[in-house]
Structure 1
Amino acid sequence: MQICNNVTMKQEIDGVSIPACFISSHEGFHGSIKNFVKDFVVTEIDTNGQWVNKEGRAAAGADQPGCASRNKAHKPVDEYKQKNHLSVTDCMYVSGDCGVDVSPDSLDLGMILGQSVSNELEQFVLTLRDERPTRQEFSLGFFADKQLRANVHRAVRHRFPFLMTVTIQPEIRVREDPDYRELSQLVTEDEAEDFFRFIDAKVQGSSYTFGPDDNKEHRTAVHHFLSRKFGKLVETKSFSDQGSTAITVRLRDRGRPKKRSADERSEDEIYTAFTLCKENLETLEAISYMAAALGVLPSDFTYAGIKDKRAVTYQSMVVKKVSALRLMEKKAEFEKRGLRLSHVRSVSEPLRIGRLQGNHFDLVVRDLRPHGVSGAHCSNADRHTRLAALVKEAVGNVKARGFVNYYGPQRFGSGQSVQSDRVGLALLKEDMVSAVRLFFTPENENDDPPNQAKRHFLQTDNAKESLALMPLSKVRERLMLRAMNRYGTSADGCAQAWLSLPHSSRVFYLHAYCSRVWNEAAAHRLTTLGHSVRKGDLVWTHDGQSQADDSGETSCAQIHVVTDHEEQTGVFELQHVQLPMPGNTVKYPENSMGTWYKERLSRDGLGDCRFRVSGLKLNIPGCYRPLLAMPHNFSYQLQEASSKGGEEEKKTQDSLVLNFDLDSSCYATVCLREVMKCDL
């Protein structure tokens, strides 16, 4: 992968021509990356700060001479992410079910929220009860303490069962629960309220009985509603007593003994964790092969993050329904396909996307050259000296100032004819047919089997014939073609094709679109507002100093809008600035950037977008991503190697070995772009 040959005033960020935005002013240099797969090694760092491929070795850099402690380099936002095992790039959208064993009757909303907010909430409720279905929201404010947030959730829902509470860390918002409104059309208001209190309490062995109902068709409608909305939680049955019939609802028995060996569990309850090492293979491709070999579904595998294809990567995974012994029996077979498994062990639950602290990178940049200087015009010694000075300055600047936190090209499918964000835009517009056709656009002009199958589908609309042409390794394509062969290629059939993919695959395309917008927003923010914090920017901040509790949590960050006074006095630094990823729960900057987001989404026809695709069960709440990213434990080594030559002076080639850690969802190629002052 050759890096660009010159730096221009206009460069491309993932295919979009925008002004070049660098944070530091050093000159940089040229070079090439990923010449060999082993030039790019990625090792996941788990939530405990451990490299997943090296037991007992902390990722904080204690065994790396000359590397400062990670904690010393971190700003408040980094401390918050570590203490809460969160990534700022996660959507940070959780349900209100906090599972805290506190009686809601003992929680006074006036005491918890303050009388003023409590009164406003009462008024908000009156507005909801008087109006038709609405999407209004009301903010209860920001709650730094985790226990307090749990109490707020339970108290609000107990007092107002028809409300749902959501957390956009650490703000709590309330909105009308659409399920409550639907049930209240079938039963009385009192019954609906009592039923939702029953559901919220989740007391094992409890039941709730609706009032007598002798209309069989009406009881059937109630049964169907409860099964559709709460079928995983409850079971319903009609009982006759003294000539009247009523529906009784019981919580399903989900309890199980706390201590059971893996052999005593049912197959569905078995989870096995392992570390996967792969080379030159996509994460989803590796999963598809392992799933076929083990006789389980690809969706039975969970992971914290997707890793690069053209690299050696180490990452944690958990597979459901497969014992540790059975997985060990397959190790040799997997190794024949370039998949190495280690640290195999039984665990109690699956992994979740984003459950990692970050990644460690060991990279090699080869064929180093100064910008604008040909090797023929200077001696080997002079060039090496020049490069040593350039590299030292570049690494020093990036260690101190960080880099623009762009999403890397792999987020969009670099080199493809149609990139993932265009598919995501079509899905957000709920244009299922266009989204499918974009998905099946050939990646390039090559006439390899996958491209042949895609062209055949676009030309003939024949899913069955295209499926026969599609290689077995193309799992997603085959799943969609199989679905369209069954359901057709109409809008409904195409929707079924998307539903055939795992949720993580479907939502990836929507995230790709939002990432594209974020990249453009970052460039626009730096180009128009500069490198200083401005009034109306969004920043992470703390509510002051507090003592750590038993969980290790000290204080919670929150989104804050910079005031004119804070801009003038320089309270915040650029690394505190956050830009929102578009979604249905985020707030936008209260300066020119807020207007930019609105206009940018409107240009794509998303001015009124809810960022939900209900037909595909997709919801994009949005999140906040730091404008800048900071590498940790950054070290480097400049190496000089001589090529074979004759009587003349041997030509030398300089290479650069880089080692650093990045937080989750930060891209090493983007960090290299800042170091080298070139787009990759």
Structure 2
Amino acid sequence: MLRSFSYVTDHTGFCGTVKNSPSDFIVTEIEVPEHLFRDTHDESLQKTSAVPLEQSSPYLQQPKKLRREPPGLCAEGCGGGGGVPRPSERDPGQAGGNSSASPNKKHHEGEPELKSGLEEASILDSLLGKPISELLDKFACDLKDAWDLENNADAASREFSLGPILDKKNRADLHSAVRQKFPFLVTITKDNAMIVKGNADYRELCQLVTEKETSDFFKFLDAKLENSTFSFEPDGNKDHRKVVHHFINRKFGKLLETKSFTVTGINDQPSMSIMVRFREKSWSRKRSAGGFQEKQDLYTAFTLQKENLETLEAIGFLAAELGVLPSDFSYTGIKDKKAITYQPMVVKKVTPERLKEIGSKIERKGMRIHNIHSACQHLRLGQLKGNHFDIIVRDLKHHSHDSSADLRERIYEAMENVETKGFVNYYGPQRFGQGQNVQTDQIGLALLNEQMVKAVKLFFTPEDTDDPVNNAKRYFLQTEDAKGALVMLPEFKVREKMLLRALNRYGVNHEGCTKGWLNIPHAMRIFYVHAYCSKIWNEAASYRLKIYGSKVVEGDLVFSEENDKSISLNGKVHIVTAPEESAKKYSINQVVLPMVGHSIKYPSNKVGQWYHERLSKDELQMCKFRVSPLQLNIPGCYRPILKNVQNLSYFLEGSEKGIEIEDNHLSESKVSLHVSFDLDPSCYATVCLREIMKCDF
């Protein structure tokens, strides 16, 4: 994958073999902070967010975006209820409310009450100032008036800007205050400016229930008070209740659940009401003699040692042995296959004792488990500090074009050069599947183009070997008999089995293949798309270095290490100007290139033009980098062109006992190079070695 790609250093290099055996390539993940593993009930430790796989280092991660809308809201148009009775058409007396029979909100001791409208108005005045606050009031009133006009087409597109709000806490307070005072509005942050517009879901619910109920429901939704419930007014119309249930489940089903229960209505007659509550996630409640007690999810942390296994393959083995899903495992990065690797993992729903029981069984698969202990939460991709590598390069010799007799000098020169200048930060060959007939980026491209059947067939393309896994793949491609292929596959091939089960049920067509991909955990689905994005980044980096070299030129993107968390990722990426180029204001180490996605900007020089032409070549010129049928969202990020190696050390050792290494010259193939170093997250040791040795692996 890297053959013919550019280098940043100009030394001659040398030849040698890497990964003669797994013990020649040892990778140890640099541990994440210990507090992430503490068995604690500290609520702050349980709040995590997903981090895209392609993030190159913690300071370049896309910051967690502020909530743009109440969770689950869709920007769909308003409907009239499809012939279902409106509130005024319900049974007599039920358009009002019986607060004693069904209180709208139930609070528990110690939980904050919702703020009153006057309190919210006061907060808005203090955050925005009186003039802007009054303009917001006018916008809200005008929008409500426009909604009352059935033919007012522009109401849905109306927006009002509150201006830039740079302080993160003020933005969060403002989001909450606006929605509490005006539940029919939603707030959106665009480049630090806050935009207010109408909430289409609020308007749609108003077609089904009273406006007071709608307003109270959205205030309840925005407050997200643990254990709180919300009850709609009693409703004797079963068909109407059914439509309200469907509306809430369609819009907020991932966040809320509903049920109907009997209440006392008008004239003490029994009626039915809909109650809403938040779904339980990482915690659940069970009643005991002392009241409610919190039951934490069970997490067990451990260090996985594996040899000659892919990370996902190892997880498949462990999941099958423990009787859990692969998605119950969390880890911070993918490790090399042909190596001995050590990495922290966390598994959910498994006790430390149960994990210890399988130790002897998994050793036969090339795995060992160390440092087993209880944990409080899962790990996240990208949540690592880096990796330490201990590598042996054997069969050292000169390049064929090198006439020098001094191999030792070549090695010293290469080490010093890379330690000083760094290396091109390419994604390594293992990201794309070394030696495979079909590489992961090809599957990712098919998924981005929503060619679901093609992606499945690429996924099941066999290697040129005669073993149970490839025989099963070969059989499936020849017959499309998913059930038969399932029987042939070994149990540990979890991804393949998940896909085949869905294909057996739904068929090998577009719909069936889509459902098949959805059957695979999200982290595995998006892995293929990230592989394609990585391939494009590699090509872009090589092109950038070929045409501009190490000089920083107008139109390049440079990254500012600004610590202000309120500044968006794009806000930290600056386009180099002509005067800045002339003044040599930036160094090549500050230049970044985008990983393609929907939320990044491109260089404004020839490199930006190259990106657009390259995506057009793969028919992605109109790609939104969102694959909705597979729930894949690819915002993109930025990756430095160059990276530095840390803590580099090395020594030469005779390959046979008794061989002495002379000071002046080394005999080819008689010695091996032992090298160790640390790299930042998402950097590849094979890429660093490529720069040192000037040869591809």
Same fold (TM over 0.5): yes
User: What is the CA-CA distance between 1:362 and the residue it aligns to?
Assistant: 0.8
Equivalent position SS for 2:655: strand
Match of 1:271 in 2: 299
CA distance in 1, matches of 2:668, 2:26: 28
CA distance in 2, matches of 1:621, 1:388: 46
Match of 1:163 in 2: 186
Q: Deviations over 1:101-135 (max 9, x none)?
A: 99793654884799999989999998999659889
CA distance in 2, matches of 1:574, 1:304: 29
Match of 2:407 in 1: 387
Equivalent position SS for 2:58: coil
2:676 aligned with 1:659: yes
Match of 2:429 in 1: 409
CA distance in 1, matches of 2:520, 2:354: 26
Equivalent position SS for 2:217: helix
CA distance in 2, matches of 1:611, 1:511: 11
Equivalent position SS for 2:560: strand
Match of 2:455 in 1: 435
1:271-670 correspondence to structure 2 within 5 Å: 271-372=299-400, 383=405, 386-443=406-463, 445-543=464-562, 558-642=572-656, 653-670=670-687
Q: Deviations over 1:423-455 (max 9, x none)?
A: 111111222111111111123x33333222222
User: What is the CA-CA distance between 1:268 and the residue it aligns to?
Assistant: 7.5
CA distance in 1, matches of 2:8, 2:15: 18
2:64 aligned with 1:36: no
Match of 1:223 in 2: 245
Equivalent position SS for 2:343: strand
The answer to whether the Cα contact below 8 Å between 2:57 and 2:680 also exists between their aligned partners in 1 is no
User: What is the CA-CA distance between 1:516 and the residue it aligns to?
Assistant: 1.3
User: What is the CA-CA distance between 1:310 and the residue it aligns to?
Assistant: 0.6
Q: Deviations over 1:482-502 (max 9, x none)?
A: 221122112111112112211
Match of 1:249 in 2: 276
Q: Any unmatched runs of 5+ in structure 1? A: 1-11, 53-83
1:189-200 correspondence to structure 2 within 5 Å: 192=214, 194-200=216-222
User: What is the CA-CA distance between 1:195 and the residue it aligns to?
Assistant: 3.1
2:688 aligned with 1:674: no
CA distance in 2, matches of 1:206, 1:95: 23
The answer to whether the Cα contact below 8 Å between 1:579 and 1:626 also exists between their aligned partners in 2 is yes
Equivalent position SS for 1:679: coil
Greater Rg over alpha carbons, structure? 2
Q: Residues 346 and 175 (structure 1 numbering): CA distance in 2 closer, same or farther, change over 3 Å?
A: farther
- When structure 1 is superposed on structure 2, of 32-41 and 244-253 the one drifting more is 244-253
Q: Residues 473 and 323 (structure 1 numbering): CA distance in 2 closer, same or farther, change over 3 Å?
A: closer
Equivalent position SS for 2:400: coil
Equivalent position SS for 1:236: strand
CA distance in 1, matches of 2:313, 2:190: 35
Quote the RMSD (CA, aligned, Å): 4.5
Instruction: Count residues with an aligned counterpart.
Output: 610
CA distance in 2, matches of 1:388, 1:115: 75
User: Identity over aligned residues, as a percent?
Assistant: 47
CA distance in 2, matches of 1:201, 1:523: 50
User: What is the CA-CA distance between 1:604 and the residue it aligns to?
Assistant: 1.6
1:96 to 47, 58, 67: 67
The answer to whether the Cα contact below 8 Å between 2:426 and 2:687 also exists between their aligned partners in 1 is yes
The answer to whether the Cα contact below 8 Å between 2:132 and 2:162 also exists between their aligned partners in 1 is no
1:63-102 correspondence to structure 2 within 5 Å: 87=58, 90-94=61-65, 96=67
User: What is the CA-CA distance between 1:538 and the residue it aligns to?
Assistant: 2.3
User: What is the CA-CA distance between 1:671 and the residue it aligns to?
Assistant: 0.9
- When structure 1 is superposed on structure 2, of 391-400 and 408-417 the one drifting more is 391-400
CA distance in 1, matches of 2:12, 2:619: 40
The answer to whether the Cα contact below 8 Å between 1:88 and 1:626 also exists between their aligned partners in 2 is no
- When structure 1 is superposed on structure 2, of 279-288 and 312-321 the one drifting more is 279-288
The answer to whether the Cα contact below 8 Å between 2:598 and 2:636 also exists between their aligned partners in 1 is yes
Supply the AA of the counterpart residue of 1:36: S
Equivalent position SS for 1:621: coil
The answer to whether the Cα contact below 8 Å between 1:141 and 1:173 also exists between their aligned partners in 2 is no
2:26 aligned with 1:21: no
Supply the AA of the counterpart residue of 2:672: S
The answer to whether the Cα contact below 8 Å between 2:285 and 2:294 also exists between their aligned partners in 1 is no
CA distance in 2, matches of 1:151, 1:467: 53
Supply the AA of the counterpart residue of 1:272: T
Q: Residues 49 and 271 (structure 1 numbering): CA distance in 2 closer, same or farther, change over 3 Å?
A: closer
CA distance in 1, matches of 2:136, 2:684: 44
- When structure 1 is superposed on structure 2, of 508-517 and 650-659 the one drifting more is 650-659
Q: Residues 28 and 288 (structure 1 numbering): CA distance in 2 closer, same or farther, change over 3 Å?
A: same
The answer to whether the Cα contact below 8 Å between 2:499 and 2:520 also exists between their aligned partners in 1 is yes
The answer to whether the Cα contact below 8 Å between 1:404 and 1:627 also exists between their aligned partners in 2 is yes
What is the TM-score with the length of structure 2 in the denominator?
Answer: 0.76
CA distance in 2, matches of 1:248, 1:463: 43
CA distance in 1, matches of 2:378, 2:385: 17
Q: Deviations over 1:139-194 (max 9, x none)?
A: 97684x654554455456556755365799x9989898776676566567776555
Equivalent position SS for 1:468: helix
User: What is the CA-CA distance between 1:272 and the residue it aligns to?
Assistant: 0.5
The answer to whether the Cα contact below 8 Å between 1:643 and 1:653 also exists between their aligned partners in 2 is no
The answer to whether the Cα contact below 8 Å between 2:28 and 2:388 also exists between their aligned partners in 1 is yes
CA distance in 1, matches of 2:160, 2:237: 37
CA distance in 2, matches of 1:172, 1:267: 38
Supply the AA of the counterpart residue of 1:541: S
What is the TM-score with the length of structure 1 in the denominator?
Answer: 0.77
